[in-house]
Structure 1
């Protein structure tokens, strides 16, 4: 039976736990399934995570218990300590490629099709961006009989060339407000640099004026561009 998103959206921590299990299954198979300690460390990584989180052991265990109840993870108790593995692809009812894209969106936040293709290199090698877009379109157009859409395309952010995609596993996303991305912070950052440069120029001009006054000479205005 597939996970019913409409009935029970995931919490942010559940999505992080699930995404981390999906990532480690592909990137560090020798250490997989994961112990609770390894899982918490993966959830709280400072890189390849958006947003960065500080998940505690108790929070991770609670999320695992809920995900187990939803048949999205399995517990292995054969060793010295319990180990956990995901059951995402079967539990949600999506093909491998779609599961990879959803896992990346859960871990890294909204991304363009191009970013997803690059970030998926260690998970799955997509032939081209068109292949990524085809699976995203399929996830967005998923029928209600199968549980409804699992991703949504967001409005283009200011200064961005491409639109980003977000997952819907944690519930609806407000698509009326562009999600901040790699380009959205460019304009404020540029303005800050311009303001800083203008302040430095004003300081230099004041210093030059003061020096000219001390030397008893007058300043010569700069000629407009193209004039001598």
Structure 2
């Protein structure tokens, strides 16, 4: 799982992690405990129980918290790893439940008239960090990565070697012999 789910990549200091855990503990969203014979404390989340979420709601919210705004298709595929979300109708129901709570936990960022590629986000952002619909749309698009200079150099070298081999064999780019009648 760690090899395939590295989006987003993060790096936190021990102090940052402990401060966050203490903040969650103060709100009763996490509990600290010591296992039998353990010298190190362990932590257990309590947010789902405190807030009263179903497994499906917890899975969808976890994905939104981890990866930020996502399309419904992305959400269903990713949240289905944590809870059973067999189809988009089930996902729509879960998202509506999260959206219509007394304190909503999810919000639709896409235009209400849009039916495909609808983007959702969680509502737990600090006020100055909440994404706009336009930002969410841009962040969910596939990004084109540019090759590093080392890869481009290696590609050029390989292309030159292939060309030299083609010349030696008398074969053109189409793979056919240049000497064919």
Measure how far apart 1:128 and its partner are: 0.8
- 1:133 and 1:121 map into 2 onto residues whose CA distance is 13
Deviation at 1:155, TM superposition (A): 2.5
Equivalent residue runs for 1:164-179 within 5 Å: 164-172=119-127, 173-175=130-132, 177-179=134-136
Report the Cα distance in structure 1 between the residues aligned to 2:19 and 2:83, rounded to whole angstroms: 30
Alignment gaps of 5+ in structure 2: 146-181
TM-score by length of 2: 0.65
Q: CA RMSD in A?
A: 2.7
Deviations 1:91-125 (A, max 9, x none): 22222211111111111111122111111232112
Whole-angstrom distance in 2 between the partners of 1:47 and 1:122? 11
C-alpha offsets along residues 14-41 of structure 1, whole Å, 9 cap, x if unaligned?
Answer: xxxxxxxxxxxxx8xxxxxxxxxxxxxx
1:100 and 2:45 matched: no
**Structure 1 length as normaliser, TM-score?**
0.53
Compute the displacement of 1:88 (Å): 1.7
- Inter-CA distance 183–174: structure 2 relative to 1 (3 Å threshold): closer
The size of the alignment, in residue pairs, is: 137
* 1:70 has 2:22 as partner: no
Distance 1:106 1:174, change over 3 A: closer
1:48 and 1:108 in contact (8 A); partners too: no
Cα distance in 2 for residues equivalent to 1:109 and 1:81: 31
CA distance in 2 between partners of 1:152 and 1:81 (Å) = 38
1:53 aligns with 2:2: no
The answer as to 2:114 corresponding to 1:155 is no
3-state SS of the aligned residue for 1:178? helix
Does the 8 Å contact 1:102/1:167 carry over to 2? yes
RCO higher in structure (CA 8 A, sep ≥6): 1
Q: Is the 8 A contact 2:60 2:75 kept in 1?
A: yes
